[in-house]
Structure 1
Amino acid sequence: MSPRIVRTVSELRTVLAPSRADGVGFVPTMGALHEGHLSLLRAARSENGTVVLSIFVNPTQFGEAADLDAYPRTEAADVALAAEAGVDLVFAPSVDEMYPTGFATTVSVGGPLSETLEGAVRGRSHFDGVATVVAKLLLAVQPDRAYFGAKDAQQVVVVRRMVADLGIPVDIVTRPTSREADGLARSSRNTRLSPDQREIAAAVPRSLRAAQDTFALGVRDSHRLAAAVCAELHAAGLDPEYVETVDAESLEPMSEVAHPALLALAVRVGPVRLIDNVVLVPGADDRIPLISPERTRP
């Protein structure tokens, strides 16, 4: 059965009111659904009586107008996929519904959480946009659990901090990065890669695997780990925007990996900017590029 589509917060809350006793699971997206999104929806379906999917291309988190304009809008196809995943309700608001006339409030998470990695490249305003829209969506849906993918590791850390600081009563559930057969992290932007560019993009997961292999040999120096990543990328003709090793929780830079660390990268392949990461844990024999599922509740 096709999920019900609602466009306003007031209708959303009215429709959800009778369903809250059995638990509400929520997956926020910008649409253009792929297997990564569907894996989150399936997880939500298995743990909740009602599943809500949001589709909203949030203009405040795009630094480049061209990137916003190029972002795919495929609502009809998304709703069909949502139906197959067992979604009950699709919240697809307009920009005016989310940011009405006179809107003047920004949610901002400070410090390294929003100023390193993506924040250093895209600017603080990117995560201000993310935190603000996620806060609004969580307050609109009021779910018991909200599901995020580990590919956007920094976003997950920012959202966890925001939820804890503001006391929003929701479990933040992180699921492993969904990957193609060659290891490339699934992303809505991947559809913009040409066949040749798609082949080149496979160097991204290879580079992370090279770092994992280097780490498994006992290397803990972040510069040597980054060098292993860069060697694979450079061999494919790619020049990364950054390759950084940071504390997996605080996102503070690390020179030596003495406790769980996030090794993250960003690189452009043709017109597409790709991000990916791996968590390195001393003493753990884990060479799969993912963040283990975690929950955070205030």
Structure 2
Amino acid sequence: MQIIKTIESLYKRIQSFKKEQKKIGLVPTMGNLHEGHIKLILLAKKHSDIVIVSIFVNPMQFDNALDLTKYPQTFLEDCLILKKEKIDILFAPDRSEIYPNSTKMHTYIDVPKLSKIIEGKSRPGHFLGVTTIIGKLFNLIQPNFSFFGEKDYQQLLIIKTLVKELNYPIKIISIPTIRLKNGLAFSSRNKYLNNLEFQKASFLYKIIKKTINIVVKNHGKKLHETIHLSKMSLIKKGFLIDIFNVYNSQTLDVFSKKNKKNIILASVWLGKTRLIDNKKFILPN
């Protein structure tokens, strides 16, 4: 595994891969790697000749300065994981390499509609930072494939839209959310949870599944009542709810019984930790 920290060195390696007609797979991360990241790396190996993992804690996508400061950074441990997985290149630039000037004055990429609803409404500017850094990584690495998890479902749709509308010759490949045995989705932010919160956190996915069962059984009728009862169950367990609702899984428009492909998106607080999760479902005829 080669660790590259500068854009200049990265360019040289990418050009050599292109001359050799190697297929490049990119797994973008912010580090603090877990089982979900490893699954993406294994998938990248199946599709690519060269696997590149990026680690960059992107300040542009944090809507809260404190959240950026406390975000878990485990670079040495991450390097050990990546060496074990035998990736080809770790691109780990310093912040000054990616943003030589202020992030506030930096050129950005915006996906207007999808970036300003649901999670984007709760975290203004978050997706602007995501699409900007992903666009930069795509320009720098020129991958044939890029790999993402479905836990950040809105982010996944935004990146797919970015690729389509800006004509990037890149195939986006996603995998279902990787979970612990109790159903809790793997996340770098799980480390913020204390022992009691960690035990409670799995209740979120249980409620999501229960809600879907009721919505499907009722063919979408009494949706507001069902969602309200699910929220009450979460609140009784100690969750503070930001987002918990049913959306069109293809457009993220609000639920309509005319649409059969749907998803529950959830963003909640448990103590000082923000958890997100989702599950797709088909509404029967």
Structure 1 residue 204 corresponds to structure 2 residue 204: yes
Structure 1 CA distance for aligned equivalents of residues 145 and 130 of structure 2: 18
Structure 1 residue 4 corresponds to structure 2 residue 2: yes
How far off is 1:225 after superposition? 4.4
Aligned residue number for residue 107 of structure 2: 105
Aligned residue number for residue 18 of structure 1: 16
Structure 1 residue 168 corresponds to structure 2 residue 168: yes
TM-score using structure 1 length: 0.89
Q: Give the partner amino acid of 1:57.
A: V
How far off is 1:239 after superposition? 2.7
Structure 1 CA distance for aligned equivalents of residues 163 and 198 of structure 2: 36
Q: 1:216 to 1:244 in 2, by over 3 A?
A: closer
Structure 1 CA distance for aligned equivalents of residues 258 and 119 of structure 2: 21
List gaps (5 residues or longer) in structure 2: none
2:152–2:277: 8 Å Cα contact kept in structure 1? yes
Q: RMSD value over aligned CA atoms? A: 1.7
Moved over 3 A (4+): none
How far off is 1:118 after superposition? 0.7
Match runs of 1:66-215 below 5 Å: 66-101=66-101, 104-111=106-113, 113-123=114-124, 125-215=125-215
Structure 2 CA distance for aligned equivalents of residues 16 and 160 of structure 1: 23
Match runs of 1:240-259 below 5 Å: 240-256=241-257, 258-259=259-260
Seq. identity, %: 32
How far off is 1:119 after superposition? 0.7
Q: 1:110 to 1:83 in 2, by over 3 A?
A: same
1:266–1:274: 8 Å Cα contact kept in structure 2? yes
Structure 1 CA distance for aligned equivalents of residues 207 and 122 of structure 2: 20
Q: 1:207 to 1:100 in 2, by over 3 A?
A: same
Aligned residue number for residue 293 of structure 1: none
Aligned residue number for residue 233 of structure 1: 234
Structure 2 CA distance for aligned equivalents of residues 257 and 85 of structure 1: 45
2:248–2:256: 8 Å Cα contact kept in structure 1? no
Deviations 1:39-96 (A, max 9, x none): 1011001111110000000001111111101101111111111122221100001111
Q: Give the partner amino acid of 2:197.
A: Q
Deviations 1:220-259 (A, max 9, x none): 1442442353243133122311212221122111243632
TM-score using structure 2 length: 0.93
Structure 2 CA distance for aligned equivalents of residues 40 and 158 of structure 1: 19
How far off is 1:144 after superposition? 0.4
2:182–2:202: 8 Å Cα contact kept in structure 1? yes
2:244–2:266: 8 Å Cα contact kept in structure 1? yes
Q: 1:67 to 1:256 in 2, by over 3 A?
A: same
Aligned residue number for residue 37 of structure 1: 37
2:146–2:171: 8 Å Cα contact kept in structure 1? yes
How far off is 1:262 after superposition? 2.0
1:260–1:281: 8 Å Cα contact kept in structure 2? yes
Structure 2 CA distance for aligned equivalents of residues 264 and 181 of structure 1: 21
Q: Give the partner amino acid of 2:260.
A: H
1:219–1:225: 8 Å Cα contact kept in structure 2? no
How far off is 1:132 after superposition? 0.4
